[in-house]
Chain A
Amino acid sequence: MGDERDGFDRRLREARAKQGLDKPAGTAGGGLPTGPWGIGFRAGVEVVSALVVGIVIGLMLDRWLGTWPWLFLLFFVAGSAAGILNVYRLFSPRRVRPK
């Protein structure tokens, strides 16, 4: 495929984009499925996984440093914040690629 660089691919793509056959690149979002259930499930998984990671880090640090339950509480809060951040990232449009 390497020697098809004479611009044919590019012209084909432009022609297809003009005919509306291809979605223009960059507006595809994450390219991820966007059904209400899909989005809901994704958001839930993002929150829970961040929370779980926060709790695990907190528990491990507590066990290591013997500070139960303070770091657990701290990282519980941090985990929730990270979960919310994840969901925020999920819904904020992705940055356009710097070319």
Chain B
Amino acid sequence: MAAEGKAIDALSQFELVPVLGAVGRSVGFSQANAHMLLAVGLITGLMIWGMSRRAVVPGRLQALAETAYEFVHELVVGQVGDEGKRFFPFVFSLFMFILLGNLLGLLPYAFTFTSHIAVTFALAALVIVVVTIVALAIHGTHFFSYFFPEGAPKLLAPLIIPIEIISYLSRPVSLSVRLFANMVAGHVMLKVFATFVVMIGSAAGVLGLIGAVLPLAVNVALVGFELLVAFLQAYVFAILTSIYLHDAVHLH
């Protein structure tokens, strides 16, 4: 498809298309929404169905559910401390949602909703709002001392406070851009090399077919790499959320 006209069309895969016919069009229900619902459904299914048997010796699904639970639990408690248990459901939901989004996007014909900055920024903004509310709830107005380190000369306050506020506000931006950029870059690379396979393969007979093996091999390696990135970026998102929560709970 993409090779037609000898142009590499790597970005059309991120276009939103309404699904579910006329109903979907009228409410703007795109394939991104569909995949989000699918991800939520899969997570819910995994947790409910996987844990329904409550076997002492877990089966595969239960082992998967328990591994996911314990992985995130350890992450949150390790970063935030024991107070972090309160935030476990929040971080777990974020982690699983992003992980499923990244992984679902690697399936053929699937759509990666985490490759849209609107989605990742919404998640990151949610994180920062929650973190700020937590800090305000725990520390009250003392929270604002976060923007002015103790012992700094008062004269520098007009300089330090805006910089600290910008630094604080840049957190959701860097959080969302990191995830979004990783997913977009990965999928663009996959598409580019997949296009090479078609272009070279359809070029010149047997020689082209042999040559097409090379980008295909690259793509195979890339899919493996993307699996790593999918997991890693969900992990990074979760751990940074935990670090911010730690800052909110302990405030310096």
Binding site for B on A (CB under 8 A): 25, 28, 30-33, 41-42, 45-46, 48-50, 52-54, 57, 75, 78-79, 81-83, 85-86, 89, 94-95, 97-99
Contact = CB atoms under 8 A, between A and B. Distances in A.
Contacts of A99: 81
Main SS of chain B's interface residues? helix
Contacts of B166: 50, 53-54, 57, 75, 78-79, 82
Q: How large is the interface on B (under 10, 10 to 19, 20 to 34, 35 or more residues)?
A: 20 to 34
Contact of A49 (B164, B173, B232): B173
A97 B166 CA distance: 25
Main SS of chain A's interface residues? helix
B157 interface: no
A69 to B, nearest CB: 17
A56 B243 CA distance: 25
Interface string B176-194: 0110010000000000000
Interface string B151-177: 000000000001110110111011001
Given A30-B239, A31-B78, A33-B236, A86 B162 contact: no
Contacts, number: 69
Nearest to B252: A95
Given A50-B167, A86-B174, A45 B78 contact: no
B75 interface: yes
A89 to B, nearest CB: 8
Contacts of B86: none
Contacts of A52: 170, 173
Interface of B: 75, 78-79, 81, 162-164, 166-167, 169-171, 173-174, 177-178, 181, 232, 236, 239-240, 243, 246, 250, 252
